[in-house]
């Protein structure tokens, strides 16, 4: 297993900057990189219509195929049931136990995915797994048969938790999320290992308890007279004090973190959006606004030529909030662009 992973890793490095994803519905999706890796490695493919359907739930049989193929096994589809060969191989490898699934043609749960991934790994685990258990807020609700698998997949940074610290073992995953998990399984550098609080750091624990969680909202523009698509904002911005700062970044399209705005004389001014900013402003006009995607000048002039905003385009933002110098939290914000036929600026009556 370890030898195979090293081979895959070297290939990923070679194709990372050159692959072209032909699948039509992942071009602007946050999982484009993960899907692209796996397409090049032959681990995933699309449907006959050229789509990947990244937001559809992943079936048990489809996930089995992804895991088996990621381990280096090239198999033909079964003659009567396409997944039969992959399921038989999974049983042979110990990834799936006989009778574990009544049917393979249903959405797989996150607990079942963790189970299969851990069985596929041939890696050592940290001795302090109990510390990782304490980070999973719904750990006590997880069925006993899955607890060990989940904490191992979580500690390795392969299957991450949610913003509230929960794992949600019975929840189904999308095909895009499954692709990201498989990439993390075979590529250690892509893993998101959770950070543990250092023992004895009472100030850190106190800051964690008192940390003000943001109420993040996305407001799409419904007025065709206004020149923006959506706004990201923090609804409870008034709760924050001077010790807090925030940073907003578009991780799916970093080009949108810099833009050029013209003044009335059409002299363009460059704006760096991805900067640390305070929550407390003397300027009362802020109102918790994090980011606004405008119809024009949403990037530099050069990037505007190469980057087209389209209806339904999937963007992913990362909000980082820092309390003092000791505590930082990150939040993922997915947004889909909703296009309007813009008419211009309304004239005053």
Domain residue extents for the chain: 2-190, 205-336
Burial of 237 (0-12, 13-18, 19+ CB in 10 A): buried
Give yes or no for residue 124 having a pLDDT over 60. yes
Residue 198: predicted pLDDT: 57
Residue 206: predicted pLDDT: 59
Residues with Cβ within 8 Å of residue 338, at least 6 apart in sequence: 220, 221, 229, 230, 311, 312
Proportion of the chain in helix, strand, coil states, percent, rounded to 5: 30, 20, 50
235-294 tens-digit pLDDT: 998 888 888 999 999 988 888 888 877 777 667 778 888 888 888 765 555 678 888 888
Which has the higher per-residue pLDDT, 158 or 306?
158
On average, the pLDDT of the chain sits at 82
Report the candidate in 259, 233, 229, 256 with the shortest Cα–Cα distance to residue 246. Answer: 233
Residues with Cβ within 8 Å of residue 128, at least 6 apart in sequence: 196
Q: Return the beta strands (E) in 17-120 as ranges.
A: none
pTM, two decimals, is 0.56
- ∠ CA(43), CA(46), CA(47), 5° rounding? 140
Residue 64: predicted pLDDT: 96
């Amino acid at each position: 297993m370890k030898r195979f992973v090293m081979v895959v890793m070297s290939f990923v490095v070679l194709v990372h900057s050159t692959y072209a994803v032909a699948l039509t519905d992942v071009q602007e999706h946050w999982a484009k990189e993960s899907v692209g890796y796996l397409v090049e490695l032959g681990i995933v493919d699309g449907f006959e219509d050229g789509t990947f359907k990244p937001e559809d739930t992943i079936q048990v049989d489809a996930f089995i195929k992804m895991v088996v193929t990621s381990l280096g096994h090239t198999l033909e589809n079964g003659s009567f049931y396409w997944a039969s060969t992959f399921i038989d191989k999974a049983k042979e490898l110990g990834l799936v136990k006989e009778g574990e699934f009544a049917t393979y043609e249903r959405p797989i749960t996150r607990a079942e995915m963790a189970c299969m991934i851990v069985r596929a790994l041939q890696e050592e685990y940290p001795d302090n797994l109990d510390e990782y258990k304490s980070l999973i807020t719904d750990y006590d609700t997880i069925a006993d048969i899955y607890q060990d698998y989940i904490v191992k997949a979580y500690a390795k940074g392969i299957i991450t938790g949610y913003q509230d610290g929960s794992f949600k073992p019975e929840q189904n995953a999308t095909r895009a999320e499954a692709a990201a998990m498989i990439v993390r399984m075979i590529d250690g550098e892509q893993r998101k290992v959770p950070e543990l609080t250092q023992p004895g750091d009472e100030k850190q624990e106190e800051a964690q308890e008192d940390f003000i969680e943001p109420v993040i909202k996305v407001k799409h523009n419904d007025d065709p007279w206004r020149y923006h698509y959506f706004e990201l904002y923090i609804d409870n911005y008034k709760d924050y004090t001077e010790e807090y700062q925030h940073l907003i970044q578009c991780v799916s399209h970093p080009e949108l973190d810099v833009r050029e705005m013209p003044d009335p004389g059409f002299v363009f001014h460059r704006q760096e959006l991805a900067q640390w900013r305070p929550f407390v402003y003397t300027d009362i006009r802020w109102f918790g606004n994090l980011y606004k995607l405008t119809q024009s000048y949403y990037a530099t002039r050069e990037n505007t030529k190469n980057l087209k905003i389209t209806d339904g385009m999937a963007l992913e933002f990362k909000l980082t909030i820092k309390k003092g110098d000791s505590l930082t939290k990150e939040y993922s914000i997915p947004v889909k662009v909703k296009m309007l036929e813009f008419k211009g600026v309304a004239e005053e009556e």
